[in-house]
């Protein structure tokens, strides 16, 4: 059963993305010299394919992050419609809901992987949400805003919670990671070791999450990784410096705007437009058109 929010978003989106509006927004996009940088987490097959089909219908060329990097480094204003798709976290359902679509349409994608969830089976945020819903005594009242908990304390709580979690695995396994990395359409990027909120980490913690995790992930997949995404879009000046020092070529935030290659003085704060899992396609179109 669809939620009220889904139905309302679908109705509003259908009204606000009628053909004349769609045409006007695409003209604005064309004049902006931008790349449409879009990311997903765990979309269902229908939503993901609808977004891809919309991009195909509107004559967007799908490009890789390597191609984006060249445009950003040369600060070239884009003259034709280009889109780049990334995914965060490596959700297990991506294997059935995303891979068939990218293979069908021959789309290069980058999946940003946090290492600990691949070993543990779930993101720590899922484990915390589950514990809060079950009124666990391990999480104090003031710690229910779990994305603001200092990293050391968060790890202490998480290590206790995961011993008793009943959640099924939602993140791909090491074996599945090694399998998808052989797909020529899929590139793997860094997303920290623990899916940490970097802006509240100490400098030492950030060094581990950014630099050490890069080396660890490269060792697992046997390939160099050049691109990074900040978990939750959270970062600070130390994060930017450490990402650069670690040898990454670009890093992505969650700022929801079109990516203008000629606009950024640093390649480590590039935007991406999020298409949340629970959106209707009409609301997703509003995001693609830069209306949300």
Q: Residues 132-188: pLDDT tens digits?
A: 888 888 788 777 788 999 999 999 999 999 888 889 999 999 999 999 999 999 999
User: In 104-120, which positions are buried (b, 16+ CB within 10 angstroms) versus exposed (e)?
Assistant: eeebbbbbbbbbbbbeb
Class of domain 34-121+169-276: alpha beta
Residue 214: pLDDT band with limits 50, 70, 90: very high
∠ CA 256-31-290 to the nearest 5 degrees? 25
pLDDT of residue 77: 87
**Please, which residues have CB within 8 angstroms of residue 256's CB and are 6 or more apart in sequence?**
271, 272, 273, 274, 287, 292
Is pTM beyond 0.85? Reply is yes
pLDDT of residue 144: 77
Please give the distance of CA 145 from its chain centroid, rounded to a whole number.
21
């Amino acid at each position: 059963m669809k939620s009220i929010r889904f139905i309302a978003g679908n109705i509003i989106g259908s009204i606000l993305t009628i053909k004349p509006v769609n045409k006007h927004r695409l003209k604005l996009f064309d004049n902006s010299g931008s790349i449409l940088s879009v990311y997903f987490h765990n979309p269902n097959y229908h939503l993901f394919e609808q977004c891809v089909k919309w991009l195909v219908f509107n004559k967007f060329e799908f490009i890789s992050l390597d191609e984006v990097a060249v445009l950003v480094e040369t600060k070239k204003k884009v003259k034709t419609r280009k889109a780049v798709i990334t995914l965060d976290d490596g959700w297990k359902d991506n294997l059935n809901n995303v891979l068939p679509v990218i293979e069908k349409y021959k789309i290069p994608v980058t999946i940003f992987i946090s290492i600990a969830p691949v070993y543990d089976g779930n993101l720590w945020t899922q484990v915390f949400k589950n514990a809060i819903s079950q009124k666990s005594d391990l999480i104090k009242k003031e710690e229910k805003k779990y994305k603001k908990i200092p990293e050391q304390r968060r790890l202490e709580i998480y290590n206790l919670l995961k011993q008793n979690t009943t959640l099924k695995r939602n993140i791909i396994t090491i074996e599945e990671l090694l399998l998808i990395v052989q797909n020529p359409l899929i590139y793997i990027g860094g997303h920290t070791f623990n899916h940490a909120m970097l802006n509240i980490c100490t400098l030492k913690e950030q060094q581990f999450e950014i630099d050490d995790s890069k080396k660890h992930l490269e060792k697992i997949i046997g390939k160099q990784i050049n691109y990074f995404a900040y978990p939750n879009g959270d970062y600070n000046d130390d994060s930017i410096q450490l990402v650069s020092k670690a040898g990454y070529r670009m890093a992505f935030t969650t700022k929801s705007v079109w990516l203008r290659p000629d606009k950024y003085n640093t390649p480590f704060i590039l935007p991406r437009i999020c298409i949340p899992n629970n959106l209707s396609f009409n609301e997703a179109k509003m995001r693609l058109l830069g209306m949300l």
